[in-house]
Amino acid sequence: MQNLTLLDGQKFQITIQRLCRQLIENHNDFSDSVIIGIQPRGIYLAKRIAEELRKILPGKTILQGDLDITFYRDDFRRRGEQLVPNQTKIDFITEGKKVIMMDDVLWTGRTIRAAMDALQAFGRPEKVELLVLVDRRYSRHLPVAADYTGIEVDSIASQKVVVSWKEADSEDRIVLVNE
């Protein structure tokens, strides 16, 4: 089977714009809210959303950080390969803030479970929300749901959803890969 492009070009941009507007509905001028991208691939989404929000809300401070969840994963010692950590970069206080965690694809929910644990190490946020670009439905291993969703996809376990970013991969595109 061929790979299927789910979203690219102008439609990709419209989806990002819609997510930004939805965030503004709930977070107003972001004075009490912060954005956290989950390493390794969620940081591109978080950076893009933060950048767009700064354009829509000129003069407002949009805080955005990167969170690495490697040490909180539940498959340590259960995989053949070594889990090597990425950088965590959070230069602000999350205590008492509304935190919006962002990742490119929501699949089993295990990454989000680990991310919620990892986030606790930085203090107690007032609220934690989840924004994902792609929600792979009917594939959850844990009771996790996103508050904001770019697109929903029905897929089977052998398929993969790959999100490419202009910054890292030269173009914005979401592809369903058949293996």
Identify which of residues 84 and 157 has a Cβ nearer to another protein in the complex. 84
Surface-to-core class of residue 158, CB atoms within 10 Å of its CB (0-12 exposed, 13-18 middle, 19+ buried): exposed
- Burial readout 19-35 (b: 16 or more C-beta within 10 A, e: otherwise): bbeebeeebeebeebbb
Query: At closest approach, how far in Å is the CB of 35 from another protein?
Result: 19
Of 2 and 82, nearer to another protein (C-beta) is: 82
The least CB distance from residue 41 to another protein, in Å, is 15
129 vs 136: CA distance, rounded Å: 18
Q: How far is the CB of 117 from another protein (least distance, A)?
A: 7
What is the nearest approach in angstroms of another protein to the Cβ of residue 89? 9
Nearer to another protein, 9 or 96 (CB): 96
- Which residues of this chain interact with another protein, rule CB under 8 A? 68, 70-73, 76-88, 117, 120-123
| Contacts for 13 with CB less than 8 Å, ≥ 6 apart | 172
- 9/85 with CB nearer another protein: 85
